[in-house]
Amino acid sequence: MVSQEERRRQLAREKFLRQQQRRTAARRKARTRNAVIASVLGVVLVGSVGLYATGVLKDDGDDKANTNAEASPSATSKAPDPCEKPAEGKAATATWKKEPTMTIDKSAKYTMRLDTTCGAIDIDLKASAAPHTVNSFSFLAGKGYFDHTKCHRLTTNGIYVLQCGDPTGQGTGGPGYTIPDENLKDKSLKDNVYPAGTVAMANTGQKNSGGSQFFLVYQDSPLPPSYTPFGTVSEAGMKVLKKIAGAGESTGAGDGAPNATVVIDKATVTKS
């Protein structure tokens, strides 16, 4: 005969096991959903568009890589939130069936301004080298697609990027269409390194799978040249990125949501 106390303990154990199973299943689902770039160290980094995202963690063991790792913001950093409260409003939910018609002037100069809760980030866009990408961003910004969206991912170990552009804030969203890879032989990409200040497209790991998600590099990052570089952050914008990175990320493992409340209140693309 099982006593009431023994039965209570048995039920508690069963409840605990069910919770563990649910958590394991959730983690497995999250890894499948967010896996974006295979890590050469076997470290999986999160991100995606319905798997959009990107990031390779590379450590070749040389002094330069070790120095970068030591200089990066601590993965366990729990610094106070350096950012302001987001403006009122909700992220867009609209999607489109196909890439927008080309409307930009490839010979003109374009800039993108991200007015974020952490400060303004100005970006010089490479219209002639990445016209499909810049045209898509001009279209989406004009539709208010990026407004009120969270920058959902910060990496602080191996690669050093802030990832944005997903209205869901989960790394799974996109505009409903994809754009082709461009400018993969940009002269700034040397020795499989995306230099600090680069703005590039996230993707699923497949060719021509970019959507709306993009990443901003705040420290030189070893990555294969598979992610369309389409802009360069201004000096003032780099200070904002450093502030965000300095607050660390949520997991303590070097790849998670920023501790800083990074929300794009307004994104604007301007021809000059």
- Please give the average per-residue pLDDT across 43-58, as a whole number: 34
Number of domains in the chain: 1
How confident is the model over 68-119, as pLDDT tens digits? 333 344 444 467 899 999 999 999 999 999 999 999 999 999 999 999 999 9
CATH of the domain at 256: 2.40.100.10
User: Which pair of tokens denotes residue 261?
Assistant: 């409340």
The pLDDT value given to residue 88: 96
Contact 96, 79 (CB under 8 A): no
Q: Up-side HSE of residue 34: CA atoms within 13 Å toward CB?
A: 22
Q: What is the pLDDT of residue 219?
A: 98
The proportion of the chain whose per-residue pLDDT surpasses 90, expressed as a percent, equals 70
Domain-located, residue 104: no
Smallest CA-to-CA distance from 158 within 222, 253, 217, 216 is with 222
In a domain, 80, yes or no: no
Would residue 84 count as lying in a domain? no
Rounded to whole angstroms, the Cα distance separating 151 from 167 reads 9
pLDDT at 45: 35
Q: d(Cα 272, Cα 128) in Å, to the nearest integer? A: 14
Asked if the structure places residue 66 within a domain, the reply is no
- 12 domain residue, yes or no: no
Identify the pLDDT of residue 4: 64
Positions of E strands within 93-247: 110-116, 119-125, 149-150, 153-155, 161-164, 193-194, 198-201, 214-217, 221-222, 229-233
Tell me: the pLDDT tens digits for 132-157?
Answer: 999 999 999 999 999 999 999 999 99
In a domain, 115, yes or no: yes
Q: Burial level of 236, CB count in 10 A (0-12/13-18/19+)? A: exposed
Whether 64 has a pLDDT exceeding 50, the answer reads no
| Mean pLDDT of all residues belonging to the chain | 82
Does some domain include residue 101?
Answer: no
Please indicate, yes or no, if residue 172 is contained in any of the structural domains: yes
The answer for residues whose C-beta is within 8 angstroms of residue 27's C-beta and 6 or more apart is none
Residues 244, 216 contacting (CB under 8 angstroms): no
**pTM given for the model:** 0.74
Per-residue pLDDT tens over the stretch 244-258: 999 999 999 999 999
Tell whether the model's pLDDT for residue 46 goes beyond 50.
no
For the ranges 24-33, 224-233, 239-248, which has the lowest average pLDDT?
A: 24-33
User: What is the pLDDT at residue 80?
Assistant: 85
Q: Which domain holds residue 178?
A: 110-271
